[in-house]
Structures are given as structure tokens and as C-alpha cells.
Amino acid sequence: MDIHEYQAKEVLSNFGVAVPQGALAYSPEQAAYRAREMGGDRWVVKAQVHAGGRGKAGGVKVCDSDAEIQAATEGMFGQKLVTHQTGPEGKGIYRVYVEAAVPIDREIYLGFVLDRTSQRVMIVASAEGGMEIEDISAERPDSIVRATVEPAVGLQEFQCREIAFDLGIEPGMVQQMVRTLQGCYRAFTELDATMVEINPLVITGDNRILALDAKMTFDDNALFRHPQISELRDKSQEDPRESRAADRGLSYVGLDGNIGCIVNGAGLAMATMDTIKLAGGEPANFLDIGGGATPERVAKAFRLVMSDKNVQAVLVNIFAGINRCDWVAEGVVQALREVQVDVPVIVRLAGTNVQEGQKILAQSGLPLIRATTLNEAAERAVAAWRSDVNQNPNLRAV
């Protein structure tokens, strides 16, 4: 789960990370009022969306007066901000963050991520901040500083000092950098985050180290332990299909293809999508319905997949281990009788009681296309989709 910049800054500030003074606004008038409350003569107005690259897309404006703030925010509210991370559909702007401008001497990149190779938290930093880490890595790879944290002891002060020295922090400011690094690490570990990114972390003209921007991503599976973080979720920034799936206990990721997938198990779902690609098709989604493929759960999955207007065929791929194929087959039949599905449905069952499951599908009277292997299922799904497109030219081929 992602959260907004202003939320990430509030979270990090609670762990001792210094941030500039700022306030949230939901209208142009409120934005101007927030600036007057803070005082000063220059402010930065930032669109709050779950995407990077806001500055290049016009989502960050520097203003010198109330009139400029109102003009800037009137051009933001209710609009779609399109960046390289949002895709052409963009993200809606429904709130802005008004922040007091600070005199910047230096910009630094700082990130905390999970390194799956070392199975450790990795700190990635660069003295060349203010730009995407991918650009930094490509253009100035020598500027990147990396350090891994031993989980048994946590982030030590000597590691923080080494990072500060590698970044060229002045000796008198090293302790500020130590507090910033340790605060980010504590927030990362104590809140089950998967990423903390500050870009840029700035050194101001009056020798302060401040998080000028902040991003945090959290492990969805651990949100039950952190209700205060779960409450920060903004569904307006999410794919509505993924939001509906999460509310129904399903793991779903929307894609741009046209063959819907209903699979039990994340690994099998990935293999199913790969096989569809190899067969010449494009998967419309990743959908893991989990181990309990009950009729109700299968029906929810069908409704979710069919809510995508691009779906022109559905492939159901179930491997029954703890479950039984006959139970799953009954669930598929019941779901198809409850849910309006007007595209070809291909079903592949394997595992416990597979023969009984195939018999239930055959006797259902439903126009199901059955398959015994994953390759066969993918090929039949692609063939059924192509046949359906040829018979119905109005269907859009992706």
C-alpha cells in the first residue's frame, strides 16, 4: 500500500526525521489560507498523488503570493496528473500540500528497500539527489552509496556515520544525518514498510537536513498489525479493480491484455500469465483466489474479472492440493450460473479428484472449454479469443 507525501512526512517526523513546515488543503481558498497561517514569502504547492515525476508534469509549483497559490491550485484540483509512472490515464488530484519554501544548498537521494538477494534491508544513497534513482544509476553510478543492515543488531551509528562521510556531509551535521537515517530505519522496520524514499533530502542554507519529499510503501499482508497506517489508504489513487479485489480478500493486479485469469496460488498465476504470452495472447490480470476456492469466492473472482471491459476470454486454472477438484468444479458451475459471463471460459483442473471434477463440468450443460494441461488451456484460451474476435468485429483486439 502506498501513501501520500504529506502522510509519509507525518509518519517519518514521528520517528525523528526533520521535515519542512507544511499543511494540507482541499481547495484553492484553503491552500492560500494555509500559506498565510505558516507565514513567510514563498511556498511550494504539491499535488498529492501516488506517483513520482510530479514536478515535470506540472504537479509542483513555487508561489510567491496568495494569488499565485490560488491560480496554481485551481489548475490542479479535479485534474488528472499524467507522469511517466501513472501511464496515460493519470491520477486525479483531490488534495494539495502547501509547504514553506526552504533555501537549498545540496540535494541528496536516500532510500531504504528490501534486498531479496541478501535478505536484508538495504540503504541506497547518492550525493546526486533531486532526480530518479534510475537516472542516477545510469548517469552517475559512482555516486551511489549502498549499505546493508544486519537484522540481529539493527542500523548502527557507525554505519550512519560512514554513509554521512561517503555523502560528503560536513562534520558538524553528521549527527543530524545519523538521526535521519536511524529514524527512517525505525519507521521501515517497526511499521512493516517495503520502501522508504526521501528524494530529495536537502541540506539548507542554515545547516539543517530536511526531508523535502517522502514516499513510503507498506506490506499489505502486515497492515492488520498497523491500523493507523491502514487508515491512510486512499482508494481514489488505486486501480478500482484492485481496490474491489482487496476489499473482497482477493489478490488482483490489473493488466492491459484481454484474457482474464482466475488461478489459485501466486506462483501458478505467474506461470499461467507466462504461458498465455507464449501462446500468443495477453493476460488481462493477475488474480490469485487463494487456497479456498469456494463457490462464493469463485463467483467473486468471475465478477471481478468480468468488470474489465477488455476481457474477451477467461482462463480458470486450478491445482487442487488441499482442495478437491470436484469441490472446485462445483464452485465454477455455481459461479457461472450466478454471474453473467458472455465470453469463452476455459477451465483446467489438476490434482485431487480431478476425474470427478471433469465429470461435473461435462455434465453441467454449460458451454465450457476444458483442458488437461496448462499449455493446452492457454492455447485454447487464445484460440477461443481469436475466434470470438473474428465473429464479433466490434471486440477490440489488444
CA angle at 201 for the pair 200 and 205, rounded to the nearest 5°:
110
CA distances from 170 to 93, 131, 163, 177, 352 (A): 39, 22, 12, 10, 66
Active-site option among 197, 242, 330, 379: 197
Residue with cell 534491508: 121
Separation CA 104–CA 86 (nearest Å): 28
Q: Measure the CA–CA gap between 215 and 213, rounded to whole angstroms.
A: 7
Residues 45 and 67: their CA atoms lie apart, in Å, by 13
Cα 287 to Cα 75, 250, 270, 295, 304: the distances in Å are 37, 7, 9, 16, 9
DSSP state, residue 315: E
State yes or no: 379 annotated in a binding site: no
205 annotated to a ligand binding site: no
Closest residue by Cα to residue 277 from 202, 381, 351, 360? 381
Residue 162 is assigned to a ligand binding site? no
Write out the three cell numbers for 69.
Answer: 497559490
14 annotated as a binding-site residue? no
Would residue 185 show up in a list of annotated catalytic residues for this protein? Answer: no
Q: Is residue 53 part of an annotated ligand binding site?
A: yes
For 333-362, give the DSSP string: HHHHHHS---S-EEEEEEETTHHHHHHHHH
Q: Measured between alpha carbons, how far is 300 from 250 in angstroms, rounded to an integer?
A: 9
* 23 phi, psi to nearest 5 deg: -155, 155
Cell reading at 27: 481547495
Is 264 labelled a binding residue?
yes
For 185-202, what is the HEC assignment?
A: HHHHHHCCEEEEEEEEEE
Is 231 part of any known ligand binding site?
A: no
Buried b (16+ CB within 10 A) or exposed e, 166-191: bbebeeeebebbbbbbbbbbbbbeeb
**Active site annotation includes 109:** yes
Annotated active-site residue in 109, 128, 242, 252: 109
Parallel, antiparallel or unpaired: strands 368-371 and 313-320: unpaired
Residue 99 — left, alpha, or beta (φ > 0 → left; ψ -120 to 50 → alpha)?
beta
Listed residue (28, 22, 27, 26) closest to 10, CA to CA:
22
**Do the annotations mark residue 55 as ligand-binding?**
yes
Task: Write out the catalytic residue numbers.
Answer: 109, 197
Annotated binding site for substrate: 264
Annotated binding site for ATP: 46, 53-55, 99, 102, 107
Annotated binding site for Mg(2+): 199, 213
Annotated binding site: 46, 53-55, 99, 102, 107, 199, 213, 264
